[in-house]
Amino acid sequence: MTPPIPETRLRVGDFDYRLPAAAIAQRPAEPRDASRLLVLDRPKSAPSRPSLRHRTFREVGEELRAGDLLVVNDSRVLPARLPARRSPGSEAEVLVLRPVDDGSGRWEGLIRPSRRIAVGDLLTLASGDRLEVGERVGDGTRAIRFFRDPMAVMTAAGEMPLPPYVHDRSAPPDRYQTVYAKPLGSAAAPTAGLHFTPQLLTGLAEKGVRRASVTLHVGLDTFRPLEGSYVDEHVIHREWYSIPVATRRAMARARREGGRVVAVGTTTVRVLETAARKRAASGWTDLYITPRYPFAAVDMRITNFHLPRSSLLLLVTAFLQAGMPKADAYTARDTLLAAYREALAGGYRFFSFGDAMLIR
């Protein structure tokens, strides 16, 4: 356990851990709900001694009760990786991220090799469509102009944008989508939801566990390491979200009847907490949840195992701290990393195609 450190500024390096490459899942579990589930009980945990139970994901209903509300992110991943060429024999690649927020109709994306592509250059896709590359608009990103409907172009020429740490590309594209995905818009999957099957959702409904949805279109911050030496130096990119009236009503009903709000994934947590703070049903969020954050909307959460030195690891640490009486940021961190060590020792698989945690 790390000696106590003043919490005035949290150091990025203190949210690191050693992860063997063999623990990074390269393929999803089959079937989806055959993945493993590590249950962490916050009130019963002590510093560096998490209270843990081991299950398979299809048993998640044993941890829930009638009246609980599952809230999921229903965003669908765009086929946003576009192989292209600048000229015969000169290859390039575009990763489409989000619309540019300037009313121009252009999109923002990552271009490779960016330094060799000038403003105004045209890229040709396998479908015959062409893209015009514009100026830099963000941290390493460029503006992109489509000459017809962007969704049609991506559908015709795009590939699934699997995370950079997934080297096995043999899984069917729909395995990087949740079974309840609807509106297109994400550059990465809300992966905590990948474990659900239609049969599991039906079984939960029959038990009295209700389900509601939000939408947050996931950007590449999911995979971006924390920048700077201190946690407060990192800046979260904006992502678009929406929370339907029906979801707000379902949450109010769960509260009224003694049920718990169970957020599926970090993206869902950010939507619910943004809506609780801003009281806005839709818009852009750059909410950056770090230790000592005062959670207002979420009682339990389902999540995957996250990258070292990431904003997602900070969010999980913050959630542990909120449910552990008298815990500071570092004791919560120590408790989470102790759970991660037990998961690694037990052969759990990490990251997007990996296993899951339920944090009570």
- pLDDT at 211 > cutoff 60: yes
Q: How confident is the model at residue 222 (pLDDT cuts 50, 70, 90)?
A: low
Mean pLDDT of 213-220: 92
Q: Are 37 and 179 in contact (CB under 8 A)?
A: no
**Average pLDDT across the chain, whole number:** 93
244 to each of 219, 249, 267, how far by Cα in Å? 21, 9, 15
- pLDDT tens for 78-110 read 999 999 998 777 899 999 998 887 788 899 999
Residue 16 banded pLDDT, cuts 50, 70, 90: very high
Q: Which residues, listed in sequence order, are joined to residue 216 by a DSSP beta bridge?
A: 241
Q: What is the pTM of this model?
A: 0.92
The domain segmentation of the chain, as residue ranges, is 12-77+170-359, 81-157
Which whole-number Å values give the CA distances from 331 to 24, 217, 269, 316, 320, in the listed order? 26, 32, 22, 13, 9
Q: What's the pLDDT score for residue 92? A: 93
Please check the confidence at residue 357 and state whether its pLDDT lies above 60. yes
| pLDDT score of 6 more than 60 | no
pLDDT at 149: 95
Are 64 and 37 in contact by the 8 Å Cβ rule? The answer is no
The percent of the chain in helix, strand and coil, each rounded to the nearest 5, is 30, 30, 40
Domain 12-77+170-359 has CATH 2.60.320.10: no
d(CA 270, CA 286): 9
Per-residue pLDDT tens over the stretch 139-192: 788 999 999 999 999 999 999 999 989 999 999 999 999 999 999 999 999 999
Which superfamily is assigned to 81-157 in CATH? QueA-like (2.40.10.240)
Quick: pLDDT tens for 317-341: 999 999 998 889 999 999 999 999 9
Res 220: pLDDT: 75
